[in-house]
Amino acid sequence: MTAQILGGREIADSIKEEVRDEVARLFERYGFRPGLTVVRVGEDPASAVYVGNKVKTSAELGIISEQIHLDADTTQNDLLETVKKLNDREDVDGILVQLPLPPQIDSATILDALDPEKDVDGFHPVNVGRLNQGVRSLVPCTPAGVIEILKRSDIPIAGKHAVIVGRSNIVGKPMAALLLKENATVTICHSRTVDLPSITMQADILIAAIGKAGFIRGNHIREGATVIDVGINNLTDRDLVEPFFPEEEVGKRLAAIEKRGYTLIGDVNQKEAIEKAGYFTPVPGGVGLLTVAMLMRNTLEAARIRRKI
């Protein structure tokens, strides 16, 4: 068996097109466009790229986008004041504070200070509570993207056994809540789980979100299962390329390491997964491509919630 690859680009493009159409409809009918403000603190190069991509995509979809860039020595109180001003602005529907933040700032304190109705990352405790109650809320982008991949690929969720490896607040826990909402039977595994393969082998849908490169191997995967790889790791060891990747990928991955010092790899051993799974999301090219698309959809949903549309 060779797994069918579930690419994220086509699905992400479809979601963006839907958002663009709905933004235009809202403007035509109600005379406003959703507004997204992204706050970046410091000079982290990766954060600069991520924020630039989010602002650029917003503009392409007709969402009013704004970037606030604060110095690396910004105090926690200064950032809290910035968040308060954004909470009070009527033209701002979504606020995203780009992580990581400098060490003098406590991320949890900042995220808790956001207006829950503007929390487009879906991390505020109020939104977490709403999600777990199954009521309308802003949902973390990556788990929401996984649900979209499954639904738009016509992979049944209701009644299926979904096993999640990883219990983070960003992916594992909200992923479980979303799958329960779709009527799956859900098991969460983690670093203290005893005999992990005996549990993951029961999965119809196996979601890897543990943060360890190539950790999920063939002996974790039931024949024909759907394997969703949420992990993003940098692989720098050339000797691990051949054991982790199928033959047709090896040359490309070695070239990437040669050029930039690393290649991206998920939490799943691709070489072994494609021989056992029925469906498989690659890294890169899978779930990660949906994150920005889901952020755009959350900004649209925030605008609707605030205006009771």
Place of tokens 């692989």: 235
Which of the residues 16, 93, 98, 160 is marked catalytic?
A: 98
pLDDT at 229: 98
Closest CA to 248 of 271, 215, 266: 271
Q: Check if 54 is active-site.
A: yes
Which of the residues 16, 54, 118, 276 is marked catalytic?
A: 54
- What does pTM read for this prediction? 0.95
pLDDT at 44: 87
Q: Check if 121 is active-site.
A: yes
- Give dist(CA 307, CA 309) in Å, integer: 5
**Under 8 Å between Cβ of 85 and 92:** no
Mean pLDDT, contiguous 10-residue spans, the chain (309 residues): 92 98 96 96 89 93 96 97 98 95 96 97 96 93 97 98 96 97 97 97 98 97 98 96 95 96 97 97 95 97 93
- Homologous superfamily, domain 33-115: Leucine Dehydrogenase, chain A, domain 1 (3.40.50.10860)
Q: Check if 21 is active-site.
A: no
As given in the structure block, the two tokens for residue 59 are 């503009």
pLDDT at 123: 94
Q: How many CA atoms lie within 13 A of 276 on its CB side?
A: 22
Which of the residues 115, 121, 204, 229 is marked catalytic?
A: 121
Given the candidates 3.30.1370.60, 3.30.920.30, 3.30.70.2390, 3.40.50.720, the CATH classification of the domain at 141-287 is: 3.40.50.720
Q: Where in the chain is the domain with CATH 3.40.50.10860?
A: 33-115
Q: What is the DSSP letter of 186?
A: E
pLDDT at 46: 84
- What's the N-to-C CA distance of the chain in angstroms? 47
Q: Where in the chain is the domain with CATH 3.40.50.720?
A: 141-287
Residue type, 69: H
pLDDT at 1: 65
Question: Residue 226 forms beta bridges with which residues?
Answer: 205, 279
